[in-house]
Structure 1
Amino acid sequence: MYKKNQNRQITLKDFNQPLGLKLNPENKWIKKAAMIPWEAIEKEYADLFPSGCGMPAKPLRMALGALLIQKKYDYSDRELVEQIQENPYYQYFIGLPGFQLEQPFAPSLLVEFRKRLTDEKLAEINEMIIKNNKHDDDNTPPDSNGDNSDNHDDAGNDNDGTLIIDASCAPQNIAFPQDVNLLNEARENLEEIIISICYVYNLKRPRMYRKNARKDYLSLAKSKKRTSKKIRKAIKKQLQYIRRDRNYIDWLSSYGYCPDEKQMERLEILDKLVEQQQYMYDNKTHTVENRIVSVSQPYIRPIVRGKSKAPVEFGAKLDLSVENGLGRIEKISFEAYNESEVLIPAIENYYKRNGHYPERVLADKIYRNRINLVYCKEHGIRLAGPALGRPGKDTVIDKRTEYIDSVDRIEVERKFGLSKHSHGLGLIMTKREDTTRSSIVLSIISMNLDSLLRLSLFQKLILIFSRYNCSYFLCESIG
């Protein structure tokens, strides 16, 4: 159940300030609150609660505002609630009617906020924020609904603007995956399931050799020099312990002593993990399809990035497009994919927003395949970068244009660095797949709000200096 316009807050004057407390209207959180179209977003948010029964949900402004504050300062859930409890600017930003000393919500509710605000909903919210802060000189969207995006008439539309796109990885907060550590964790999980079944049905525990298995694991974990022979021997022992424990569970299940639903889900993950490890052990390889690198978060996959600092990262891969200094996520996936597949949909999304194609697209060499080059040529788009194949002898390279393109393309790298350093994209702390996706989009929204804040300050400075110059020239003409 959801009630619209609950704790509605229109202006700063409506905020009930205690005696002696006066909020500064130039504070960044007050300015950020004015940039977000809360009422328009609330209409979309209310559709998530079709039922008219039950306890009313927390307002959209409280949910979204709290998550944006958390992204900006990297607070834990418990610490975030404490900070909101002490800070009147935070309370104004999340839409409270006045300053209060009580907690606005329990820390555990933040998980529900992230579940409800999915990555699709947050992408729509990001688009609404960008549209709300669009200036008159920006591009205007087409009059049509954009459904016939496959058959565009390019004769009446002149290409304008620049689209910058690049891919990166949002690392997850997991331990670096090692085969022995994963097998040891799987063995401990199986032992816990066996102990739980025996406790529920009042059965005698079978012999599991837990101390011996732990001792064999520590003999490798504490060794300074790990040879390949030692590692294979440790993996073999852990696989044998796991096989024995798994047979115990099958034997108990045959007599009707079955694990519960949650334990069955964990068993499916453990069986797949053991199958992969057995395959790699038998074939003496370290590569397997859809490799599990975390027992608690089995959806995470290794993403090969080829960077000197971290050749392989573990997390979600995302494509970010930048237009007029603001970022939009074009794709999020936990599976590795080729970035070139995202270019054409990103350009089509640009057309739906602005009514015309971009004049140029700045991207890495991986985006310059034959399909994308033919598509850009058909629509009059200049895809920056060298031509495919060996350069010809008579090839004329416009070094000035090439330099400008390379400098302008740095903006997307700057956006990645800013979002990872200052907005939580550098280490995702959530544990679920859906909340991880939401956390990534929240980082981009938080970064865009900061960009809009800096843009408004820049425009104010331009206005001040323009007035100063006008008055200066006026005095010169009078003199």
Structure 2
Amino acid sequence: MYANHLDQQILPGDFFLPFGGRLNENNRWVQLSYLIPWRRVEEAYSKHFSKDLRGGRAVSVRMALGALMIQEREGFSDRHLVQHITENPYLQYFIGLEAYQEDSPFDPSLLVYFRKRLGPDVINQVNEWIVQAGRQEKEDGNDDEHKNGPPTSPESDANGGAQAKPQALRTHQGKLILDATCAPADVAYPTDLSLLNAAREKLENIIDTLHAPHKGNMKKPRDRRRQARRDYLRTARNRKAVGRQLRYVARDLKFIEQLVQCTPLTALSRRQYRELLVIGELHRQQREMYRSRSHRVDDRIVSIAQPNVRPIVRGKAKANVEFGAKIAISVVEGYALMEKTSWDSFNEGTTLIESVERYKERFGCYPEAILADKIYRTRDNHRYCREHAIRLSGPKLGRPPKQVDRAQKKLERKDMSERNAVEGKFGEGKRVYGLGLIRTRLRQTSETVIALQLLVMNLEKRLRLLFWLIFGELLDMNFDTIEAAS
């Protein structure tokens, strides 16, 4: 049966609010706010500002970091993020507002400055605090912490909290999982012809800007832009087309050198001046590859807008080459930590020793075992692991033995199954949190977004563990009630 609803429009004053002016303490954003060391982050964030009382007041670190975390967790754009924060009282509580307000707390353009000022170093440090607090809770089995109230923030570590408790003196503890992947940038698939055509069009705009003050007094250079455009649209991807566009770009660069004698480069905008420098290097690289009949060059530029992006050969079935930053992470008990971020391709096997030493700095001991694929099993890494009594997963180097050791094979299969945790983290980050396509443009902001993805994933893991702890307490209470009734 379906009842007719003639008037479904309800007035805002007639809409029932169930929480009666009070936030639900079991809400995910309320619980999530307890897990972040806001005070410790404030100390690191405040170093970016001067102590001068003049000028506008900076936004608090809780508002800046909280807004970025909401954005990465929900996948909002900058403008949509501010709209959702304005409409949701739980999000306003999470970013540190003392009361609900109908006006937007900040302008969407400030999010770019939030990413710049926080930076990847601060985000990675916060991530390590979160992971250390999560591991300490697991070791201590602090069930009383959640029975007496909300979970203790990692801020208590600095005041003799969970982090300050003495641990058992163990030289080796836990397992370290290592792997690397590429975080693709939001750039069009680059080809030599399309890059040279884009460079030519930008140079033509620069020529127009430099010639504008002398319009009517000086003859404009004949850049043949219409013919160049026709050649680009007519020709397919071949060597002759690349040569033509390369000559058009070289011709425009010569015209700019002549115009600079009459009009200084200060007439250009910052963006045009930056593009001119990038195009100069792009022309040199393309000319070198064209003459040597190759497609390889050091520090190859694949995007004029993002010159820091490099091609990363992955050898995957979906895409043999990806364009973005290569990141190496470690997974410890389900938590992901950043080990290295580079816009140039690198051999992840060289990061093993640094990752192990960083593990010792974080947790005070070496890992019992390192689970990694065969690219990490080099002679230097095997020698290092033997010296520090660390087991490196996988078979030994050299010729395989004639007799199969079943115990060793069983251990290798177990290591492979446990190593899937790092692949799961990559999949979670790329499918859920946007690690598969980094949409920020600047190098620093892109690295900040990548670090934020790991931070959000670790917070989600702690939030799931908190849910199971509360769920287990409810089950225990029900069992006690049943037993008392029986």
- Is the aligned partner of 1:51 residue 2:51? yes
- Matching residue of 2:465: 455
Indicate if the aligned counterparts of 1:37 and 1:132 stay in contact, CA closer than 8 A. Answer: no
Question: Which residues of 2 match residues 46-445 of structure 1 at below 5 A?
Answer: 46-52=46-52, 53-138=54-139, 157-202=170-215, 203-220=218-235, 226=236, 231-255=238-262, 257-258=264-265, 260=268, 262=270, 263-398=272-407, 399-445=409-455
* Alpha-carbon distance in 2 for matches of 1:406, 1:307: 19
Indicate if the aligned counterparts of 1:252 and 1:258 stay in contact, CA closer than 8 A. Answer: no
Indicate if the aligned counterparts of 1:72 and 1:423 stay in contact, CA closer than 8 A. Answer: yes
Q: Compared with structure 1, are the counterparts of its residues 82 and 261 closer, same or farther at alpha carbon in structure 2 (3 Å cutoff)?
A: closer
Please give the secondary structure, in 2, of the residue aligned with 1:103: coil
* Alpha-carbon distance in 1 for matches of 2:136, 2:170: 21
Indicate if the aligned counterparts of 1:302 and 1:312 stay in contact, CA closer than 8 A. Answer: yes
- Listed one character per residue, the Cα deviations across residues 203-250 of structure 1 (whole Å, up to 9, x for unaligned) are 542221111111111113xxxxx4xxx521211111121121111111
* Alpha-carbon distance in 2 for matches of 1:19, 1:362: 48
Q: Compared with structure 1, are the counterparts of its residues 34 and 177 closer, same or farther at alpha carbon in structure 2 (3 Å cutoff)?
A: same
- Structure 1 position 400, deviation (Å): 2.4
Moved more, 455-464 or 53-62: 455-464
- Matching residue of 2:41: 41
Please give the secondary structure, in 2, of the residue aligned with 1:435: helix
- Structure 1 position 469, deviation (Å): 6.2
Moved more, 194-203 or 342-351: 194-203
* Alpha-carbon distance in 1 for matches of 2:393, 2:470: 34
- Structure 1 position 20, deviation (Å): 4.4
- Structure 1 position 60, deviation (Å): 0.4
Moved more, 302-311 or 52-61: 52-61
- Matching residue of 1:32: 32
* Alpha-carbon distance in 2 for matches of 1:288, 1:237: 20
Task: Please tell me the residue identity of whatever aligns with 1:443.
Answer: Q
Indicate if the aligned counterparts of 2:173 and 2:365 stay in contact, CA closer than 8 A. Answer: yes
Moved more, 114-123 or 280-289: 280-289
Indicate if the aligned counterparts of 1:376 and 1:383 stay in contact, CA closer than 8 A. Answer: yes
Q: Compared with structure 1, are the counterparts of its residues 471 and 351 closer, same or farther at alpha carbon in structure 2 (3 Å cutoff)?
A: farther
- Listed one character per residue, the Cα deviations across residues 333-362 of structure 1 (whole Å, up to 9, x for unaligned) are 000001011111111111112221111111
Runs of 4+ off more than 6 Å: 469-472
Please give the secondary structure, in 2, of the residue aligned with 1:117: helix
- Listed one character per residue, the Cα deviations across residues 168-198 of structure 1 (whole Å, up to 9, x for unaligned) are 0100000000111100000011101110111
* Alpha-carbon distance in 1 for matches of 2:477, 2:377: 46
Please give the secondary structure, in 2, of the residue aligned with 1:361: strand
* Alpha-carbon distance in 2 for matches of 1:355, 1:320: 19
Q: Can you give the 5+ residue segments of structure 2 that lack an aligned partner in the other structure?
A: 1-16, 141-168
Q: Can you give the 5+ residue segments of structure 1 that lack an aligned partner in the other structure?
A: 1-16, 140-155, 221-225
* Alpha-carbon distance in 1 for matches of 2:263, 2:136: 68
- Count of aligned pairs between the two proteins: 437
- Structure 1 position 158, deviation (Å): 3.4
Please give the secondary structure, in 1, of the residue aligned with 2:329: strand
Indicate if the aligned counterparts of 1:119 and 1:441 stay in contact, CA closer than 8 A. Answer: yes
Task: Please tell me the residue identity of whatever aligns with 1:37.
Answer: P
Moved more, 318-327 or 45-54: 45-54
- Listed one character per residue, the Cα deviations across residues 432-456 of structure 1 (whole Å, up to 9, x for unaligned) are 0010110100111111111111111
* Alpha-carbon distance in 2 for matches of 1:232, 1:119: 41
Task: Please tell me the residue identity of whatever aligns with 1:277.
Answer: Q
* Alpha-carbon distance in 1 for matches of 2:134, 2:442: 32
Task: Please tell me the residue identity of whatever aligns with 2:201.
Answer: E
- Listed one character per residue, the Cα deviations across residues 144-168 of structure 1 (whole Å, up to 9, x for unaligned) are xxxxxxxxxxxx7431111111100
- Listed one character per residue, the Cα deviations across residues 108-145 of structure 1 (whole Å, up to 9, x for unaligned) are 00000000011111111112222344434539xxxxxx
- Structure 1 position 268, deviation (Å): 2.0
Please give the secondary structure, in 2, of the residue aligned with 1:98: coil
Task: Please tell me the residue identity of whatever aligns with 1:123.
Answer: N
- Structure 1 position 63, deviation (Å): 0.4
Task: Please tell me the residue identity of whatever aligns with 2:410.
Answer: R
* Alpha-carbon distance in 1 for matches of 2:388, 2:269: 54
* Alpha-carbon distance in 2 for matches of 1:420, 1:76: 17
* Alpha-carbon distance in 1 for matches of 2:220, 2:25: 66
* Alpha-carbon distance in 2 for matches of 1:28, 1:200: 59
* Alpha-carbon distance in 2 for matches of 1:94, 1:18: 23
Indicate if the aligned counterparts of 2:196 and 2:245 stay in contact, CA closer than 8 A. Answer: yes
Q: Compared with structure 1, are the counterparts of its residues 200 and 89 closer, same or farther at alpha carbon in structure 2 (3 Å cutoff)?
A: farther
Indicate if the aligned counterparts of 1:86 and 1:101 stay in contact, CA closer than 8 A. Answer: yes
* Alpha-carbon distance in 1 for matches of 2:244, 2:404: 62
Indicate if the aligned counterparts of 1:78 and 1:107 stay in contact, CA closer than 8 A. Answer: yes
* Alpha-carbon distance in 2 for matches of 1:350, 1:19: 45
Task: Please tell me the residue identity of whatever aligns with 2:99.
Answer: G
* Alpha-carbon distance in 2 for matches of 1:436, 1:183: 25
- Matching residue of 1:145: none
* Alpha-carbon distance in 2 for matches of 1:381, 1:408: 17
Q: Compared with structure 1, are the counterparts of its residues 403 and 349 closer, same or farther at alpha carbon in structure 2 (3 Å cutoff)?
A: same
